[in-house]
Chain A
């Protein structure tokens, strides 16, 4: 038993070390280029905006702007310096669909003349502008942005990774039959079993197998996106699970699954709670609000935890630029490493919490009447 755990932890240590070294490389490059920030290309994306700002006006370094820009969604995927992937912009206007590359905006500097309107990227919101370049807010409100943004692209990266990983694991089982798994399967099987035996079974009882696909997908989807968000360079770095839209979608799925599986007992708790009749006008609204607060809490929890992690790491990196001193790096870099390791843990914990609470809520909806047992 001991040699196996030793090997396991040794592998983990190696992986963590690689992660550290990679994060160190990006940060050291930042430090090396720091004195020339105003004039030269900077390799890390965390200072790209700083170089933009400072090269134009020699403005004061605006920390909150930098951080917000990094945790928010974007229409192109910044790689380094002035290099970025131009992702497709898809707009649904009142006249029809518009599809063009985000490169046409030239990072918000240019106006793109589309088929129906002229568009400008104003702080990652696409607005309709008139010939003079003034923003037409009324017309802009009719435009729905379905662009493949940085977060959508990152989502698709996670999508591809998950498919490749789990289909290869499944093929491993097909090949090896019921023999003990090897390689990737040996890594992931304990986690799949953990989801089944510690999340699904205790909360869902004998009906657990019906919800296994959802719980497993949610768990690995959140985990993969959390971890990708911690990788500081392409194809990571997007703040997918720290985006309220994504957590909203996941919470809504849990909400739908909970309520379409609600039993008579579950609904009777909502509409005929065990309280004196005169309390009904108070209790029923409370119970109905309760139906929505649970998924709402799921949404906020995941969003806030992941966003907070990103803000923390970015703030520590920004300290170097606020003080404009290399010495600060000797403090911030170890702190960034420390926080990153904690975030690795948080990535797993948040995936676990989201999944176990989803299972718990669904399990509550599956509740059977208690007194029934006495009759049978």
Chain B
């Protein structure tokens, strides 16, 4: 019967020690431990949420990038096309310009040649005249005493001669 008769002393000491133990553990162990556990759970929770948000952001960014890339590609294509067109235009214009310039140059060259030819002919004519006069002078030196009269006479004759 001793076994199932609670002794007052042990009831007293176990109540006291249990209450003190509960008080001390609550203050120095359970509160910090449960707070730390809760804090950790919350941080894990928020980390998961953040990761989810980051993933979504990434997805948005990715689709944004895709769009930007597509836009950039389109822009590039457009620019290339434009550049091509401009090139064609420039080429065509250059060709045109070159052609007109060339024609102009040819024309002016022709004119210059013509001018030079005329000049040359004139010079030649003068030279011929001079030579002829000289020759004639040599031939006629003796005959023609009055040189001035003779030159005028020959020039008149030369003018009447057309070389062409």
Q: For the complex, is B37 an interface residue (Cβ under 8 Å from A)?
A: yes
Q: What is the bound-complex CA distance between A155 and B7, given in angstroms?
A: 15
Question: Known: A174-B32, A177-B36. Is A146-B9 also a contact (CB below 8 A)?
Answer: yes
Nearest neighbor of A153 in chain B, beta-carbon distance: B13
* Closest chain B residue to A299, Cβ basis: B6
The answer for the CA separation of A123 and B5 in the assembled complex, in Å, is 14
Q: Which residues from B are CB-within-8-Å of A73?
A: 7, 10
Cross-chain contact B39 with A178 (CB below 8 angstroms): yes
B10, closest chain A residue (CB): A245
Flag whether A169 is at the interface (Cβ < 8 A). yes
CB of A213 closer than 8 Å to a CB of B? yes
Given A72-B2, A155-B17, verify A170-B29 contact (CB < 8 Å): yes
Which chain B residues lie closer than 8 Å to A145 at the CB level? 7-9
Q: Is the interface of A mostly helix, strand, loop or mixed?
A: helix
Give bound CA distance, A144 to B43, whole Å.
55
A249-264 contacts to B (CB < 8 Å): 249-250, 253
Please name all residues of chain A whose beta carbon is closer than 8 Å to the beta carbon of B17 when the two chains form the complex: 152, 155-156, 159
Are A147 and B37 neighbours in the complex by a CB distance under 8 Å? Answer: no
Q: Are B30 and A151 in contact (CB under 8 A)?
A: no
**Count of inter-chain pairs, beta carbons less than 8 A:** 119
**A162–B21 CB distance below 8 A:** yes
Which residues of B11-42 are within 8 A (CB) of A? 11-15, 17-18, 20-22, 24-26, 28-34, 36-37, 39-40
Distance in Å: Cβ of B15 to nearest Cβ of chain A: 5
Residue B163 is within 8 A (CB to CB) of chain A in the complex: no
Q: Give the chain A neighbours of B37 by CB distance below 8 A.
A: 189, 192-193, 196
Q: Nearest-CB distance from B11 to chain A (Å)? A: 5
CB proximity of A224 to chain B, nearest CB, Å: 10
Please state if B18 and A253 are interface contacts (CB–CB under 8 Å): yes
Interface centre among A148, A166, A170, A250 (most CB of B within 10 A): A170
Q: CB within 8 Å of B: which of A323-347?
A: none
Nearest chain B residue, comparing its CB with the CB of A215: B30
Cβ contacts under 8 Å, A71 to chain B = 3
Q: Is A221 an interface residue (CB 8 A)?
A: yes
Complex A-B, nearest 4 residue pairs according to Cβ-Cβ distance, in ascending order: A166-B29, A245-B6, A245-B10, A173-B36
Q: Which residues of B contact A (CB under 8 A)?
A: 2-15, 17-18, 20-22, 24-26, 28-34, 36-37, 39-40, 43
Can you list 9 A-B contacts (CB < 8 A)?
A73-B10, A145-B7, A152-B13, A166-B28, A170-B29, A192-B33, A212-B30, A217-B21, A217-B25
